[in-house]
Amino acid sequence: MIIVMKNGSTKQDVEKVIEALKEHGLGANLSTGSQATIVGVLGDKAKLGGFDFELMDCVEKCVPIMHSYKLASREMCPDGRVVQVGEEVIGRKKLVMMAGPCAVESEDQITQAAVGVKAAGAHFLRGGAYKPRTSPYSFQGMEEEGLKLMRKAADACGLKVVSEIVAHDQIDTAGKYCDMLQIGARNMQNFRLLREVGRSKIPVLLKRGISSTVEEWLDAAEYIMSEGNYNVVLCERGIRTFETATRNTLDVSAVPVVKERSSLPIIIDPSHAAGKSKYITSLSLAGIAAGADGLIIEVHPNPKVAMSDAAQQLTPEAYATLFQKVGALAKVIGREMQ
């Protein structure tokens, strides 16, 4: 349930409402938006018994949230949430650009990738150190050593680091090196992992599950937020359909749907959607035109010899060209790149 405060209500009025919630064993999520101040009720509203907030002078109305996800809902925060990662702000006018190899493979490779994507204008360096591979015999990632190398390369260039974890016991180690932790498509419903990453308070990039609906995805985000971590960015990376021409089908329509139903920022991963480097630019432009808040793209200094996802990784040169095109589109739709 949300409690909409009357226009002109004071800080003291809001405090009164929050205090009343506390007295009933409930928490509050405050949203001071452009239209109204909203107090979101955290916890089971049955605890209120017969208490009616609408009887308070400062309250305009109480509105139930009909979705299973509450904190992630648009109703709870109508102006949209922003996720701050250092000086980078995700979910406002500026598009956030994350790029780097599928996996960290060596110091040379991640350093070249970092230099390349930074030169193009990227804000985050991506790179997997714990790789969720379909086959147990495929390269599984460099683990902590890879994270160290990525941090070093990113720091040398002034980039933030985003990297995937696949198990909750990796959070402490990854948290030492990463600014943002990625939960991959295969782990979108690993509820233990979601809760633990929620407790960590480290910003999270939550990818959409391969066969998950938008509702299931937002419920997964709710798991993280319910532990007190509101720093969640969603990432649409393509879903499994009958189509085989691409690795996955990029669900561009998920962008406006998520924007309507949720307050969370959303970015697009065209790389894992397309599976082929030649389609990445088109899908990037489509995602941004649809209203996404940024892109995460696989870039490798020499894609042909990549140890994973070779077919979909861009060269730094191709990424720089893509960046320019997205920049031109950004201007037209009132967004910025830097």
Sites of contact with ligand PEP (CB under 6 A): 102, 128, 132, 164, 184-186, 207, 237, 269, 272
Closer to Mn ion by CB, 5 or 147: give it.
147
Least separation in angstroms between residue 53's CB and ligand PEP is 42
Closer to ligand PEP by CB, 9 or 271: give it.
271
184 makes contact, choosing from ligand PEP, Mn ion, none, with CB < 5 to 8 Å by partner type, with ligand PEP
CB neighbourhood size of 17 (10 A): 21
Farthest-apart Cα atoms in the chain, separation = 67
Is the dihedral angle over the CA atoms 211, 213, 214, 219 positive or is it negative?
Answer: negative
Residues 254-313 that bind Mn ion (CB under 5 A): 309
One-letter amino acid for residue 153 of the chain: A
The Cα 95–Cα 64 span in angstroms is 33
Closer to Mn ion by CB, 40 or 184: give it.
184
**Are residues 266 and 255 in contact, defined by beta-carbon separation less than 8 angstroms?**
yes
Least separation in angstroms between residue 116's CB and Mn ion is 17
Binding-site member from 42, 102, 117, 307 for Mn ion (CB under 5 A): 102
Helix 316-332, helix 280-289: angle, nearest 10 = 20
Closer to Mn ion by CB, 170 or 248: give it.
248
Least separation in angstroms between residue 96's CB and ligand PEP is 15
Which candidate, 89, 155, 131, places its Cα nearest to that of 335? 89
Q: How much of the chain is in helix, strand and coil states, percent to nearest 5?
A: 40, 20, 40
Least separation in angstroms between residue 153's CB and ligand PEP is 17
The Cα 262–Cα 284 span in angstroms is 21
Q: Single out the segment in contact with Mn ion by CB under 5 A; choices: 52-60, 99-107, 253-261, 278-286.
A: 99-107
Least separation in angstroms between residue 269's CB and ligand PEP is 6
Closer to Mn ion by CB, 105 or 196: give it.
105
| Residues near Mn ion (CB under 5 A) | 102, 309
